[in-house]
Amino acid sequence: MAKWKDLHHSVANGNPYAVAKAPATKDDIADVERALKVKVPAELVDMLLEFNGDGDGIFSTSSIIECNTMLWELDCFMPLNCLFFFAGDGVGNYYGCPVIGGATDMSRGIYRWDHEYDSREWWCNELEDAMRKLYQ
């Protein structure tokens, strides 16, 4: 069953920019973990193995590496390496789960980082909620 791909189709339906890409491979996931030195949350792995981002809100594995590397290296905000980003809204705000002791923890919720105010606010409880909210 393609739970994540079906959910994406239902919530992003009508958005011409949000097109589910071909599935990621286990090597793609391993590349993320090697590059960022964190374990990708299991729920996100499941989703990426069904579709590797959508070119709009949900990042591909390569975009996850690029985004986190860029944001974690910024020195004009409080450190951002406390969040593992996997989505964005296209206007500079990003969504991610906490990184605690080098491990990602989606069970603690998903947070929105606002680039204008450098605020990190709880956004939703789980990946399914995040997908629904991202395309409202």
Predicted structure pTM score: 0.94
Per-residue tokens: 123 = 């956004």
- The pLDDT tens digits of the residues spanning 90-115 come to 999 999 999 998 899 999 999 999 99
Please list, in sequence order, all residues whose beta carbon lies within 8 angstroms of the beta carbon of residue 73, skipping any fewer than 6 positions away: none
**Fold of the CATH domain 3-134:** SMI1/KNR4-like (3.40.1580)
Closest CA to 50 of 66, 38, 61: 61
Give yes or no for residue 55 having a pLDDT over 80. yes
- The pLDDT tens digits of the residues spanning 69-78 come to 999 999 989 9
- The pLDDT tens digits of the residues spanning 115-136 come to 999 999 999 999 999 999 999 8
Per-residue tokens: 75 = 């020195």
The DSSP letter of residue 123 is E
Give yes or no for residue 1 having a pLDDT over 60. no
Question: Is the dihedral angle over the CA atoms 91, 93, 97, 103 positive or is it negative?
Answer: positive
